[in-house]
Amino acid sequence: MEMFKINVSRTGELFNFQVVNNGANKCEYEVFAGNQLVAVFEPDENEYIHICRNPGGLDEEVIVQIADRIGAHYL
């Protein structure tokens, strides 16, 4: 299992997330805020990270920043 923390900001707010790749599906990155799953990302065939689930209802600006940081870390 791989884990790392990221911080993103939106209009003066700072959000802290933990990204987990549990190894079961190496192409899926689960994003948690505390103990709550807020988003799941995966790379496409061109290795561009995109969201596949958004149970936390994150806004687009935050989603894009998370995807950028996952891509920078893993790809």
Tens digit of each residue's pLDDT (9 = 90 or more) over 11-35:
889 999 999 987 665 568 999 999 9
Instruction: Note the pLDDT tens digit of each residue in 40-56.
Output: 999 888 888 999 999 99
Q: What is the pLDDT of residue 18?
A: 97
Are 70 and 41 spatial neighbours (Cβ–Cβ below 8 Å)? yes
Report the C-alpha gap between 14 and 43 in whole angstroms. Answer: 25
Residue 67 CB coordination number (10 Å): 19
SS (H, E, C) 7-44: EEEECCEEEEEEEEECCCCCCCEEEEECCEEEEEEEEC
